[in-house]
Amino acid sequence: MSRKNTADTDPQDPGEISGTTRRILSAADIDRALTRVAHEILESNKGPQDLVLLGIPRRGFPLAQRLADKLAAIDDFDPSTSLGQMDVTMYRDDLRRGPSRVPWPTVMPARGVDDATVVLVDDVLYSGRTIRSALDALTELGRPAVVRLAVLVDRGHRELPIRADFVGKNLPTSSREKVRVRLAEIDSPAAAELGLRGAAEATPQDRERYDEVVIEG
Amino acid sequence: MRHLLSTRDLTRDQAIEILDTADRMAEVGQQSVKKLPALRGRTVVNLFFEDSTRTRISFESAAKRLSADVINFSAKGSSVSKGESLKDTAQTLMAMDADAVVIRHGTSGAPQRLATAGWIDAAVLNAGDGKHEHPTQALLDAMTLRQHRAALAGEETTGTGLDGMHVVIVGDILHSRVARSNMWLLTTLGARVTFVAPPTLMPVGVEHWPADVVFDLDTALARDPDAVMLLRVQRERMHAAFFPSEAEYARLWGLTPERLAALDAAGATTAIMHPGPMNRGLEISSAAADSPRSTVLRQVSNGVAVRMACLYLLLTGAR
Amino acid sequence: MNTQNVESSGSHPDTGRWLIKGADLLGEKRVDILVVDGVIAAIDAEITDAEVTTVDAAGQIALPGLVDIHTHLREPGREDAETVETGTRAAAKGGYTAVFAMANSNPVADTAGVVEQVWGLGRDSGWTQVQPVGAVTVGLEGKQLSEIGAMAESRAQVRVFSDDGKCVHDPLLMRRALEYVKTFDGVVAQHSQEPRLTEGAQMNEGAVSADLGLTGWPAVAEESIIARDVLLAQHVGSRVHICHLSTKGSVELVRGAKERGIDVTAEATPHHLLLTDELVRTFDPVYKVNPPLRTDDDVQALRAAVADGTIDVVGTDHAPHPTEDKECEWTCAAMGMTGLETALSVVQHTLVDTGAVTWRDVARIMSATPARIGRLEGQGRPLEVGEPANIVLFDPAAETLVDPENHESKGRNSPYRGLTLPGAVRATFFAGHPVVLGGTLMRPHPAAGGR
């Protein structure tokens, strides 16, 4: 198993197996997956009309931003009116477990969500509880016509009857394993410096360097 | 965080966490549905041994916006005024399955006693104890100061402290829990605090505090502070020989129209703060209270957000 | 001589023959002490006697029975807090063979009737001698002198007069009291607290009170009264005793007064020799006491003052309170701490182990001088042949984890709860009878009234 080999692995080489960590998606893989998802969204919605992207903090929002940029490049989609961030912390059912969570800002898209096709965007779909919280949170913001779900990784182990409409990568995992998504906007050293103050701008070089999806354990 | 008893206990990171959470809570106040389900099924008891309608309704609306059940327990007219001990009152509340007790008490240390004596298991939130501390007031003041600076600089508040800010606090420092809580919190967040008061209203031992002390208000205002906070003066202090007359107090330590005009003339960006309720014409003139510099109403709305944040952080997370 | 007090001196045919083996006399030399019928019959390096009960005292310091110049026994009136019976059991356990019972009972000990009642209860208890203190003013109200002469001439033979708990603040009244007690060679023991400067006072005024927002009890409120009273004592040629002196400034005033030849004696409590106002940060009312705990600076000054003789005695100010009077908010709580059962350990910890005083000094400050101030015959006597057998055996090598639940006092308000203090009282001989042996309370003195 990789556990034994990894001690000898060159730590300078982040691309290969390191520790008990396996890299599942590289920066290029992530970008290709998002491009495909963007096309699927447009196809499913029959175009960009009434389309709204809502990213779920933390890493769902940069993914939504990237999808929005791709939609804008492919078709007539306006991120300045139709992209938002929706925090779901206060709607979670596990607030009494683990440490207290500081909520993230909710930024409503300028057009609102009423009668829109809202695509919720998150990084990893696992138990489905976050998405359950998101559906509750969304009802307080307005009444969308349709709600869809896009995720970068679906790792299985659902605890609720929830499924994703658009999936970047289906990833069978053991429940003991951890799936880590790293995105330059949040996980680059410059972004880490900003801390809670939010996400950094990320250049293509930053993405190439810091984007990845790995499995630990 | 298990209890919120004193701002002195807060680290910088904890304080910023509360303020950031409060910012989020304030956004909820802008939504059409001003209610969050975070504390559904939890019980918050407002245990008020002192009359303070303003603070009580602020806590009440904070708890309700988080969907908690609220029980108001006013000591007046209850068994408490008939000599029931704090211990018995506390244990009665526990029998009602209180998850948090918001306590306002005329005696310094009563919340700490409630939290540490082993009588109850609930989170204790100090809503003002004697002359000791009033942590949520200081937090809402810090939130207001953070907004004041961010607005001037065109920056975000999230994650920031109050580094480099200078706040002048004027009035009855000796008897003020607001002054104490603000001093600890604002300095923890990197601000500088100057206390201004007649020497009779400055406590012995003030030299050990992380605050500058001056007796002359004009000297302090000339230092171009980011904010000046006027404390309520209890009129009965005059009778205990702390100062000779209200007129003299207002002239020497009140934010008079003349002092307001001087700030305007100097082009200062000084905000005018007051924890309320105000004695217009005594520590603050109407001109100052109603000027665009005044943050008094902003402080009130921030109060609800800060109290939501505190309740949320105290009542969520594993224990 | 107080012939009424059977315990105080003289022989007691019923108390038997006891041989204390290998005790460390005042921490100076190893001796055997033979006690026969209430009197020290022999002290020698090696005594052998077949007709005795032997008490092994190897490694234990032998001191004269302790005398507490400042105890609150609460009876009559607050029997829920303490009774003469429980208070004297606590005293015996702490090594005391005499206690001065303060006058702030209910009714106040301001008449011959009340002081005789307290004195009689003490005699009946048989655990330790109880010497009542009489109030200076009627009802401790500071307005009218109480019947000092009647109390002095009563069976209780009162010599110490005090409004303790309240200050005799009226300067004219204090002057009259100082003058009047001279008739009986009495002394006024003043609770030095300027009332106006301490209205609503909750704790020492200083850095900690500023933080906590508790109303301050300034040092000057104590010092201004001491300054006034030593000048009054000088003016009228009386002696004055300063109760529970607590500040560095008070030490300096008393030192100056003594240098000027004024007949002043001063007392410090064990708690003021150990604890500081930093403890108030807990808001636990077990630390609420009057005068309040002061700063470390004051504590060090008090220790030095005991060492150089400026402070003459250590008095406990043992002040038991029922649990409900301490289990509440700070400002609602009663003032006072228990102390009889921990005093000697605290003195060892703060004064002996620090090198400030010797065990011979301890005998002076906790036995001889308090007895002399209170003019109490037969107590505070040296451990010599022919003297009354009031003896405490104290093991300085022992360690005691303080658990107030195990105290004989009704009060559970010990500020030392949970602390490990050095030393333990192993035996207390009261007029030749071991009321405490092996660290355990035995039986009261057989000559106790009603037995």
Residue C219 scores a pLDDT above 50: yes
Is B113 touching C (CB cutoff 8 A)? yes
Same domain, B198 and B268: yes
Is B206 touching A (CB cutoff 8 A)? no
**Taking CB atoms and an 8 Å limit, are A195 and B312 in contact across chains?**
no
Nearest chain B residue to A103 by CA: give it.
B21
Cis amide linkage into residue B277, ω under 30° from 0 = yes
Residue B181 domain boundaries:
135-295
Give the count of beta carbons closer than 10 Å to the beta carbon of residue C405. 7
Reported confidence tier of residue A3, pLDDT bands at 50, 70, 90? very low
Same domain, B103 and B145: no
Residue A209, in any domain of the structure: no
In terms of average pLDDT, the best of A41-50, A70-79, C358-367 is C358-367
How close is the nearest chain C Cα to the Cα of B303, in Å?
23
Mean pLDDT of B122-143: 97
Residue B101, in any domain of the structure: yes
What local confidence, expressed as pLDDT, does residue B80 receive?
55
What local confidence, expressed as pLDDT, does residue A98 receive?
82
pLDDT averaged over every residue in chain B: 93
Nearest chain C residue to B87 by CA: give it.
C328
Same domain, B73 and B182: no
- The closest CB to that of B317, out of A90, A98, A196, belongs to A98
Each residue's pLDDT tens digit, C224-275: 999 999 999 999 999 999 999 999 999 999 999 999 999 999 999 999 999 9
Same domain, B284 and B264: yes
What local confidence, expressed as pLDDT, does residue C368 receive?
98
Q: Which residue has the tokens 């501390």?
A: B133
Rounded CA-CA distance A94/A127 in Å is 12
Q: Which residue has the tokens 């290029």?
A: A28
| Tokens at C349, concatenated | 């910890």
DSSP A59: T
Is chain C in touch with chain A: ≥3 Cβ pairs within 8 A? no
Same domain, B176 and B155: yes
Same domain, B207 and B159: yes
- The closest CB to that of B24, out of A103, A140, A141, belongs to A103
Return the closest-CA partner of residue B317 out of B46, B64, B2. Answer: B2
Residue C417 scores a pLDDT above 50: yes
pLDDT averaged over every residue in chain A: 88
Number of compact structural domains in chain A: 1
Residues from C contacting B (CB-CB < 8 Å) are: 202, 205-216, 218, 282-284, 324, 327-332
Same domain, B291 and B143: yes
DSSP B62-102: HHHHTT-EEEEEESTTSGGGGT--HHHHHHHHHHTT-SEEE
- Examine the residue annotation and report whether C317 is marked as an active-site residue of this protein: yes
Same domain, B206 and B231: yes
Residue A9, in any domain of the structure: no
DSSP B192-203: EEEEE--GGGS-
Looking at residue B127, which CATH number applies to its domain? 3.40.50.1370
| Tokens at B145, concatenated | 């100061």
Nearest chain B residue to A104 by CA: give it.
B24
**Taking CB atoms and an 8 Å limit, are A104 and B24 in contact across chains?**
yes
Each residue's pLDDT tens digit, B1-50: 899 999 999 999 999 999 999 999 998 877 767 789 999 999 999 999 98
> Is the four-CA dihedral B5, B7, B10, B16 of positive or negative sign?
positive
How close is the nearest chain A Cα to the Cα of B11, in Å?
16
Residue A7 scores a pLDDT above 70: no
Same domain, B107 and B157: no
Residue A55, in any domain of the structure: yes
| Tokens at C361, concatenated | 């000094």
Looking at residue A88, which CATH number applies to its domain? 3.40.50.2020
Contacts of B133 in chain C (CB under 8 A): 213
Contacts of B175 in chain C (CB under 8 A): 213
Is B30 touching A (CB cutoff 8 A)? no
Percentage above 70 pLDDT, chain C: 96
Residue C372: its H or E element: helix C369-373
Contacts of C207 in chain B (CB under 8 A): 205, 208
Residue B1, in any domain of the structure: no
State the complex-level ipTM. 0.93
Residue A121, in any domain of the structure: yes
Each residue's pLDDT tens digit, C264-304: 999 999 999 999 999 999 999 999 999 999 999 999 999 99
Residue A80, in any domain of the structure: yes
Each residue's pLDDT tens digit, C359-380: 999 999 999 999 999 999 999 9
Residue A144 domain boundaries:
28-175
Each residue's pLDDT tens digit, B209-268: 999 999 999 999 999 999 999 999 987 777 788 999 999 999 999 999 999 999 999 999
Residue A6 scores a pLDDT above 50: no
Question: How many Å from the N-terminal Cα to the C-terminal Cα in chain B?
Answer: 9
The sheet that has B100-105: what strands, in order across it?
A: B69-74, B43-48, B100-105, B123-129
Return the closest-CA partner of residue A164 out of A172, A174, A156, A176. Answer: A156
Rounded CA-CA distance C183/B128 in Å is 56
Each residue's pLDDT tens digit, A169-183: 999 999 899 999 999
Residue C6 scores a pLDDT above 50: no
Percentage above 90 pLDDT, chain C: 94
Topology at the third CATH level for domain C13-62+386-408+416-441: Urease, subunit C; domain 1 (2.30.40)
Phi, psi of B313, rounded to the nearest 5 degrees: -70, -30
Residue A196, in any domain of the structure: no
Mean pLDDT of A113-133: 96
What local confidence, expressed as pLDDT, does residue A170 receive?
96
Burial of A68: CB neighbours in 10 Å, binned 0-12, 13-18, 19+: buried
Q: Where are the domains of chain C?
A: 13-62+386-408+416-441, 65-373
What local confidence, expressed as pLDDT, does residue A189 receive?
86
Is B243 touching C (CB cutoff 8 A)? no
Mean pLDDT of A68-75: 94
Same domain, B193 and B258: yes
Nearest chain B residue to A196 by CA: give it.
B159
Same domain, B84 and B233: no
Residue C345 scores a pLDDT above 60: yes
What local confidence, expressed as pLDDT, does residue C49 receive?
82
What local confidence, expressed as pLDDT, does residue C1 receive?
35
CATH of region C65-373: 3.20.20.140
Rounded CA-CA distance C222/C9 in Å is 37
In this complex, which chains have at least 3 CB pairs below 8 Å with chain C?
B
Q: Is the Cβ–Cβ distance between C414 and C340 less than 8 Å?
A: no
- The closest CB to that of B208, out of C210, C324, C331, belongs to C210
Is B245 touching A (CB cutoff 8 A)? no
| Tokens at C21, concatenated | 């083996």
- The closest CB to that of B317, out of A99, A103, A196, belongs to A99
Each residue's pLDDT tens digit, A187-216: 988 887 776 555 677 888 999 999 999 999
